[in-house]
Amino acid sequence: SQTIHQWPATLVQPVGSPLSLECTVEGTSNPNLYWYRQAAGRGLQLLFYSIGIDQISSEVPQNLSASRPQDRQFILSSKKLLLSDSGFYLCAWSFRGSYNSPLHFGNGTRLTVT
Amino acid sequence: GEDVEQSLFLSVREGDSSVINCTYTDSSSTYLYWYKQEPGAGLQLLTYIFSNMDMKQDQRLTVLLNKKDKHLSLRIADTQTGDSAIYFCAEIGSNTDKLIFGTGTRLQVFP
């Protein structure tokens, strides 16, 4: 069966510091990978999605970036965090090439920028 | 662009039925999903319905789809305190890998 791991679970970082959140998927190959952000009391905002290594689409302009160094690894980064980057970050995967495949989510990372 | 809307809050008494509503705008939606998010956790897929279906039942959950009005609902029978969570509807159009999520409905169940 497939599993998705996301870490860390919580993170407190000062403004201007770098960020690296990691997500890995096990039990499947060539997954679609996604990063979502959920601001407090708000819905989900798609940040990035990837259909393959070095194939990453950015959905919203921001100071965040994403990379996919391996097939089942997805990393969310920032060089300098802003207060507005605080939120709950969720990684997700779906089967590639299977349109309408549901997303399966990790447990999320709660980021607080102070 | 695509848009999915939900009411923000719903409060029900334990044992009653809950109905969470969702409207969407993308007429090419092929699948519609309901996710549950418990506090501090990720999203858990509850159920889904294909756009050529009107209804799907899965134990205590009933999904109704009115494609003409682009309206989706999730009914939870015999609501329990463990059902307290945020419920998201989501839709996906044809030939796309991206789910569009609603804003989420916070369901509170009181004894």
8 Å CB contact of A99 and B101: no
pLDDT at A96 exceeding the cut of 90: no
Angstrom distance (rounded) from CA B25 to CA B36:
22
Report the share of chain B in percent with pLDDT over 70.
95
Chain B partners within 8 Å of A104 (Cβ): 45
8 Å CB contact of A99 and B43: no
Considering chain A, what is the average pLDDT of its residues?
A: 91
Report the share of chain B in percent with pLDDT over 90.
68
Using alpha carbons, select from B21, B105, B48, B57 the residue that is nearest to residue A103: B48
Chain B partners within 8 Å of A46 (Cβ): 98-99
Beta bridge partners of B83: none
- In this prediction, residue B94 carries a pLDDT of 66
Q: What's the pLDDT band for B99 if we cut at 50, 70, 90?
A: confident
Q: Which residue of B has its CA nearest to A42?
A: B103
**Contact with chain A for residue B1, Cβ under 8 A:** no
By the 8 A CB rule, do B104 and B88 touch? yes
Angstrom distance (rounded) from CA A12 to CA A26:
27
pLDDT at B23 exceeding the cut of 90: yes
Going from the C-alpha of A8 to that of each of B9, B37, B49, B80, the distances in angstroms are 30, 19, 33, 31
Q: Is B77 helix (H, G, I), strand (E, B) or coil?
A: coil
By the 8 A CB rule, do B58 and B77 touch? no
Chosen for mutation from A34, A35, A100 (greatest number of chain B CBs closer than 10 Å) is: A100
Count CB pairs under 8 A between chains A and B. 54
- In this prediction, residue A77 carries a pLDDT of 96
Chain A partners within 8 Å of B92 (Cβ): 99-100
- In this prediction, residue A98 carries a pLDDT of 62
Chain B partners within 8 Å of A90 (Cβ): 42-43
pLDDT at A2 exceeding the cut of 80: yes
pLDDT at B82 exceeding the cut of 90: yes
- What's the distance, CA A42 to chain centroid? 17
Q: Is B83 helix (H, G, I), strand (E, B) or coil?
A: helix
- In this prediction, residue B79 carries a pLDDT of 98
Q: What's the pLDDT band for A65 if we cut at 50, 70, 90?
A: very high
Mean pLDDT within A25-39: 92
- In this prediction, residue B11 carries a pLDDT of 97
